[in-house]
Amino acid sequence: MTDAKLPASPASCDTLTVMFDGACPLCRREVGLYQSLTPLETVAWLDVSEASASVAPQDRARYMARFHVRRKDGRLLSGAAAFVALWLVMPGWRWLGKLATLPGVTPVLELMYRGFLHLRPYLQRLVRAAEAKRQP
């Protein structure tokens, strides 16, 4: 699947749009896993780290700090809620998306995601160091 530009009007569009930080090795790997699947509905992938992504500078920083999706109805979700929206259209992940919609589950996932965000810079350094060691 190819990256797509955000629709000119965020009010609504015909696809779920995933906004991710392609400069982050962790994010890139996870999104790559999702992109290797055939979603149950069309998903647009927008790497907001690329200069060619048509994203306002203030939005770019926000999208790179947390995982975001824009639903077909135009609603912007971030963090655990964004993952749930994506999981619901991904084969093999839909069960987790449905589980996450049970009362109280998404807030717990959000707390876990916020904890991960504190570790993310350190994990990125570890992954980058491991990748550098593999190169000749």
pTM of the complete model = 0.81
Cβ within 8 Å of residue 40, ≥6 positions away = 89, 90, 91, 94
Look at residue 9 and tell me whether its pLDDT is greater than 60.
no
Domain membership of residue 7 (yes or no) is no
Q: Could you tell me if 76 and 16 are in contact, meaning their C-beta atoms sit under 8 angstroms apart?
A: no
Q: Of residues 40 and 125, which shows the higher confidence score?
A: 40
pLDDT-derived band at 44 (thresholds 50, 70, 90) equals: very high
What residue numbers bound the domain in which 73 lies?
16-134
Domain membership of residue 10 (yes or no) is no
CA distance 60 to 20: 10
Task: Quote the pLDDT of residue 12.
Answer: 55
Domain membership of residue 24 (yes or no) is yes
Q: How confident is the prediction for the chain on average, in pLDDT?
A: 86
Domain membership of residue 9 (yes or no) is no
Domain membership of residue 75 (yes or no) is yes
Q: How many domains does the chain have?
A: 1
Domain membership of residue 98 (yes or no) is yes
CA distance 31 to 133: 23
Task: Quote the pLDDT of residue 109.
Answer: 97
